[in-house]
Structure 1
């Protein structure tokens, strides 16, 4: 009778445990997918918006630099009131002096134009340097995009992991509640001692504490998801198959060729080289054409003046306290710094690829080990159950075996979620974690569209300027 009662209680425990294991791999159902989360992160990221604005500011620098090669037209105007009082003394007592008042109101207007003709390429070097800076900013934007998408993957998998932990803990509480009920029933008929009941009560209290912690972690994971994706998580679907991963040597070669961090620094080095040339050219003469047209009119008078001039002007700074030479040396030092930074970034990218592949290999090994651990823990649990039914094991042994199974299942959940983060980390390390490469259903931001509108610094009232105003209104940035 004692063995039958224990066997019945243990069968209920095993059934509940098997139900908990099934929660680790729920049946596929329609819900929010990982791709949906990535789309949300791409469309809702404030960090992406910020860096797109930074890129547009860099685009404007090209137009500003080019404007130095275009005519500069200015006008000036003024109005002047003159007050003149003159008194001349008389030659004798009889002859009185005279007083003369000559007030006048004069207006002037001038139109002045100038055009840089030749400056030994200083301005053009500045334009080319600005273009290289734009290209560097574009690569920085891609790097930020990768960070945003990887964070979305991490947030998505964190919610799934937390949900599965909660499911495991809930099942653990149900299982231990049944074990406590069975222990109390057996205590009533004298099959176990009060110690067995107390052990079951303590284990149940610990399980409830673990459930509360898992529920708190789930709330935190959902908050992280909202920050990363821009909305609350819905009914998340199981993640898709892992992305295709090449071997590590191919990945390193690809990363060195195309990683946005490396490409950004390469453009910064090119910009620094051009700035050296600009600094050197700034020490050479400049040639410009200047013209002016002026009008001066005096009210209450027939007096007026019309003037015009045009000329060729040459200038060169001979001495400026050594500032120009210092500028050249500074530009060279900045170029050397960028070259050193390029060397560092290349090594960092190669190391990041190695670390990502190591993390992926570790995650795969952990999955295999956790599967074996779950299988072994399940067999051990069933064996302890059978031995307890025969009186060879105590209630504590059963509770310990159940805890070992729970730990193994938790490790399996962690491994299943970490491998996805590791796989997408490999894509980021090689520079391939972008909306375009992932074929996300989004309108991919075109960094060249705004550049093409502003590269020639269109005037506000021109056709191009009005088109640019419409774009700015659409961006809600004007």
Structure 2
């Protein structure tokens, strides 16, 4: 890098300095590097798993309210307000805004002021007889980089895209949060329902075991029947602690998602409530709608735009850099003479910096930026494919799980009839007790599997809404900091 700085202009040539400034300003409209254009990505006309004859737009606004559970609605609102990931994403937005303002300042002139006052004593043996003197100085230094090839403007462009990405990242965080709260809430209610079923079944099996024991004592049953009945009741009871552990873990996760200690929601969740049932069928819309709604895709697109702008920053470093600098200074032996015309000096002039030889570093910097842009483009395409895959998986899973639920419901009703019939036949002596145990075991398994299928339907419904880009659509205040410093101005460094 070689730097050329002309001598300061004399007082007789201020007009020439003005003309030079105007000429440089006229040149300051150039930029180098590629201009960003949103890539065009081909997507299918419809989702392969969508069985609707005519696809309807997805209903994403506050989709969780269509599960008709006021407690779930309240917990999602609490999570949006108190979740720590959301707070971190809001802080990232504030950082991106400040970065944009900081980068924007590079286009403005930079002005610094300085002043000094000194008192000098030459000692009693000074030959001139003057033992002390004073000196007062003041001045302003100004500089302005003309940004001829747009390095600063490209940096501002990149910072603006970074702010866009930060805003979309907040939306992505909220989307994930809403989906996670709904999922863990459904799981918790599902474990509650399964615990109730296990307790109810174990209680019935204990009653059967007690009846069998009474019949054995009366000589109407065998010790084998008593052992089988007791063992089956104990086996069902043994499943309850495992379900309780899973319920507690789901509630603990819910509490963390809302920004509270793990056990904070145990009291509110203790009351049994049904598993939320979504309103079905749910329209999935068309793939193009996903590209507009998914915040992770929009984050990737903004990051691609940002990396494209940074190519211009790297490219501009290979071109000459022109700046205009000036100084005004005054110096006097007394403060009163400091601002007299005879004490004031000034200078103004341009400086030119031209890269001559740098061992290929600047060219390599451009290639690095281009490679990073390619990585961002690939990440953008990957996010689209991932989004389409998420929708297809969720849509297909929801459709097939509904079909499975219908079959399981038929199976559970049949096993209920079989269990009642086997008890009647056993009481009349027309069937063995093993038939009763087998029927009760099959009934419990069928009812528990039916509950799990109900949980799966709600979970697939949640996953589909997440895949389509449904998240929080309310207002979020990202201007308020988490920590407010009470006083950060000048103060004594020593604190006793």
Please give the range of the TM-score, normalised by the shorter of the 2 chains: 0.7 to 0.9
1:139 and 1:56 map into 2 onto residues whose CA distance is 13
1:358 and 1:300 map into 2 onto residues whose CA distance is 85
Is 1:241–2:278 an aligned residue pair?
yes
1:281 and 1:288 map into 2 onto residues whose CA distance is 14
1:139 aligned residue (154, 165, 168): 168
TM norm structure 2: 0.75
Secondary structure of the equivalent of 1:33?
A: helix
Query: 1:157 offset after TM fit, Å?
Result: 0.5
Give the structure 2 partner of residue 61 of structure 1: 99
Query: Aligned in 2, Cα 1:236/1:319: closer, same or farther, shift over 3 Å?
Result: farther
Query: Aligned in 2, Cα 1:78/1:292: closer, same or farther, shift over 3 Å?
Result: same
More helix by share: 1
2:443 and 2:412 map into 1 onto residues whose CA distance is 6
Query: Aligned in 2, Cα 1:301/1:200: closer, same or farther, shift over 3 Å?
Result: closer
How many residues are aligned here?
407
CA-atom RMSD in angstroms: 2.8
Query: 1:192 offset after TM fit, Å?
Result: 0.4
Q: Indicate if the aligned counterparts of 2:176 and 2:471 stay in contact, CA closer than 8 A.
A: no
Matches within 5 A, 1:31-180: 32-80=70-118, 103-180=132-209
Query: 1:426 offset after TM fit, Å?
Result: 0.8
Q: Indicate if the aligned counterparts of 1:123 and 1:278 stay in contact, CA closer than 8 A.
A: yes
Matches within 5 A, 1:448-463: 450=479
Give the structure 2 partner of residue 270 of structure 1: 305
Q: Indicate if the aligned counterparts of 1:272 and 1:334 stay in contact, CA closer than 8 A.
A: yes
1:312 aligned residue (342, 350, 366): 350
Query: 1:100 offset after TM fit, Å?
Result: 7.0
In structure 1, stretches of 5+ residues that fail to align are 1-29, 89-97, 437-442, 451-470
2:245 aligned residue (200, 216, 230): 216
In structure 2, stretches of 5+ residues that fail to align are 1-67, 486-496
TM norm structure 1: 0.77
Query: 1:446 offset after TM fit, Å?
Result: 5.7
Query: Mean Cα displacement is larger for which, 279-288 or 134-143?
Result: 279-288
1:85 and 1:213 map into 2 onto residues whose CA distance is 92
2:386 and 2:337 map into 1 onto residues whose CA distance is 79
Give the structure 2 partner of residue 253 of structure 1: 288
2:471 aligned residue (434, 437, 452): 434
Give the structure 1 partner of residue 314 of structure 2: 279
Give the structure 2 partner of residue 3 of structure 1: none
Is 1:421–2:456 an aligned residue pair?
no
C-alpha distance after superposition, 1:279-301 (max 9, x if no partner): 22232233333222223344799
Secondary structure of the equivalent of 1:392?
A: coil
Is 1:444–2:475 an aligned residue pair?
yes
2:440 and 2:248 map into 1 onto residues whose CA distance is 27
Query: Aligned in 2, Cα 1:267/1:343: closer, same or farther, shift over 3 Å?
Result: same
Matches within 5 A, 1:462-477: 472=481, 476-477=483-484
Is 1:407–2:445 an aligned residue pair?
yes
2:362 and 2:465 map into 1 onto residues whose CA distance is 46
Query: Aligned in 2, Cα 1:300/1:331: closer, same or farther, shift over 3 Å?
Result: closer
Is 1:185–2:223 an aligned residue pair?
no
Matches within 5 A, 1:309-348: 309-348=347-386
Give the structure 1 partner of residue 61 of structure 2: none
Q: Indicate if the aligned counterparts of 1:31 and 1:236 stay in contact, CA closer than 8 A.
A: no
Structure 1 runs, 4 residues or longer, greater than 6 Å off: 85-88, 98-101, 299-304
2:273 and 2:245 map into 1 onto residues whose CA distance is 21
1:302 and 1:444 map into 2 onto residues whose CA distance is 60
1:204 aligned residue (222, 233, 236): 233
Q: Indicate if the aligned counterparts of 1:155 and 1:224 stay in contact, CA closer than 8 A.
A: yes
Q: Indicate if the aligned counterparts of 1:279 and 1:331 stay in contact, CA closer than 8 A.
A: yes
Secondary structure of the equivalent of 1:318?
A: coil
